[in-house]
Amino acid sequence: METGAALVLIAGMAVATYATRAPLVVLVTRRLRLPGLLEHILRCIPTAAFAAIVVPGVLEPEHGQVDLSLSNLYIYAAAASVVSLRFSRSLLVTLLVGCGAALVLSRLF
């Protein structure tokens, strides 16, 4: 890639990055109140992102093939995580329970 093209690409990415963050800076500095629905949606984004990362790994543990059988140990580990989240309300506890359950189940079976 030529230097000029690389600089244009870098500048374009800098503008795109700034453009995605500028509205948040404006909201924070002006202390504007968001509508209730929008605030709820923004609070749910971390949970949705985490689920988007974890669920495919649980349901497709081998080579992208969906495995909903009883032999899929990741489903049991995910269930243990959900139960621990229900009672503890702690992300750290939930992650530890899920990872621990997956490790124990993989060693046992």
Rounded to 5 degrees, φ, ψ at 90 are -120, 125
User: Rounded to an integer, what distance in angstroms lies between the CA atom of residue 106 and that of residue 100?
Assistant: 10
Q: What is the pLDDT of residue 32?
A: 72
pTM as predicted: 0.59
Distance in angstroms between the alpha carbons of the first and the last residue of the chain: 51
Q: Of 90, 102, 105, 106, nearest to 54 (Cα)?
A: 102
Mind giving me the DSSP string for 52-106? HHHHHHHH-TBTTB---STT-HHHHHHHHHHHHHHHH--HHHHHHHHHHHHHHHH
Structure tokens at 10: 């870098």
pLDDT digits (tens, 9 = 90+) for 84-102: 989 998 888 998 999 999 9
pLDDT digits (tens, 9 = 90+) for 9-66: 999 999 999 888 888 777 777 777 778 898 888 788 888 888 898 889 899 887 778 9
